[in-house]
Chains A and B, each alone.
Chain A
């Protein structure tokens, strides 16, 4: 065990603060990105009215206006809800989503001032199971919300959420099997290092990448997989929520999609690695480049997922389950088998 060093404790706090502000600021910005991106691809302008003293900067004040509205709105709790669970549900959802980000390797280890600084908040050899577990736990918030609402629509949304989560989570994990077999580790940092020294996961595991991205999109419960919400048929698990509690559910969706994009970046797009640059040996500049590269990759993935969200209509529920259990699960198992045989024949 390493001796206790106060600067390391401070550094941990800085990292956790960075992970939190990374999630919160990007989630806030995503509200704007979502509006503007969908507007531009639909030949519209998009929200551009919120401004301070007539200054609107392309509608960038809208997320702030949203936040103020969410916080100052009446937090109405209907008669007949189970109050403790009703209040707890959004916290579980949001907390699980935020926790996932703490294990993300925003950068590798850089040496500054004669000391090695890791740019990963939680350095764990089981980082990936940790993230997947927290991501899976998030569905408890939805089930709890639907159950505590005392509304049939809420319960229906919760049921959908639970079975969709199982269908997509199984594919999510099994599609990873091939990549993990190659990397030989469950440590997210080691996976990035392996990719930096060998080849990016997307090159070696194109099918795995596609399956993971699709299953990941299903985990985030956003269109075309927004069945638990399904605002045009059942309002879903957050039918009895208002004010900031509802805002927390909205934020969970955004943060979960950030988590999925971070995971895809880490496992398939080389994480913080930039080709032909040995960032770990570049000191402070390397650290900045790592975080910047990671953020850019995550941003591009979010852009892609946003575009998918605004392109495809919602699945029917049986179609979704068919996609998960009958198509994606066999394909991801096949991907694993092919990977194993490929490695065996290669060696």
Chain B
């Protein structure tokens, strides 16, 4: 067994004088300060194409910037003929760890799908946004890509989204 000697960084005299290092740090912060000030000033004067002086997103006024693969509110998809893709197989309801999906099934007029959802509701107040429902769905009927994160409401009942709402047929 060998002993590995870890090289510790040595504090040279230049570091121990401290002033040089302080100046290096101040150089960075002063540079940021003046560059950002210049950018703020140029934007305030109405110049176009200037890099913004800050990376802050003023959220409620400006829209939230979501990642491309952000997992947001659920959305039910439709087939080409406009009927919901959901075949009421209840796999999503079964796998849901938060038990927030409620589906009631009925006979479908279309013989190829046998069953369809009569009601399909998701209680977003209980949903933990794990995405299992999307993974479980065999017919690609549910996605979590509505890019909608402002789903808060004033009552628990209002947190339940019904099938037409999830399909986008009925506005909320």
Contacts and interface: CB of A to CB of B under 8 A. Distances in A.
Interface of A: 37, 39-45, 210, 307-308, 310-312, 323
Contact of B22 (A41, A43, A44, A312): A312
B58 interface: yes
Q: Point out which of A37, A40, A44, A307 has the most chain B C-beta atoms below 10 A from its C-beta.
A: A40
Interface string B104-121: 000000000000000000
Contact of A43 (B25, B26, B54): B54
B41 to A, nearest CB: 11
What class of interface size applies to chain B in its complex with A? 10 to 19
A307 B26 contact: yes
A49 to B, nearest CB: 10
Contacts of B56: 44-45
B55 A43 contact: yes
B129 interface: no
A16 B25 CA distance: 39
B149 interface: no
Given A40-B40, A42-B32, A308 B55 contact: no
Contacts of A37: 33
A172 to B, nearest CB: 18
Given A40-B36, A40-B37, A40-B40, A310 B54 contact: no
A39 B32 CA distance: 10
Contacts of B33: 37, 40-41, 307
Contacts of B94: none
Contacts of A44: 54-56
Contacts of B18: 323
Contacts, number: 42
A115 B150 CA distance: 70
24 contacts: A39-B54, A40-B32, A40-B36, A40-B37, A40-B40, A40-B54, A41-B32, A41-B33, A41-B36, A42-B32, A43-B36, A43-B53, A44-B55, A45-B56, A45-B58, A210-B19, A307-B26, A307-B33, A308-B22, A308-B26, A311-B26, A311-B28, A311-B29, A323-B18
Nearest to A49: B58
Interface in B53-96: 53-56, 58
A310 B29 contact: yes
Nearest to B19: A210
Interface in B1-56: 18-19, 22, 25-26, 28-30, 32-33, 36-37, 40, 53-56
A210 B29 CA distance: 20
Contacts of B58: 45
A41 B30 CA distance: 7
A134 to B, nearest CB: 29
A44 B25 CA distance: 18
Contacts of A41: 29-30, 32-33, 36
A39 B40 CA distance: 12
Given A40-B36, A41-B36, A312 B25 contact: yes
A293 to B, nearest CB: 23
Contacts of A308: 22, 26
Most buried by B among A44, A310, A311: A311
B32 A311 contact: no
Contacts of B55: 43-44
A85 to B, nearest CB: 38
A214 B54 CA distance: 31
Given A43-B36, A311-B29, 17 more contacts: A37-B33, A39-B54, A40-B32, A40-B40, A41-B29, A41-B33, A41-B36, A43-B55, A44-B54, A44-B56, A210-B19, A307-B26, A307-B33, A308-B22, A311-B25, A312-B22, A323-B18
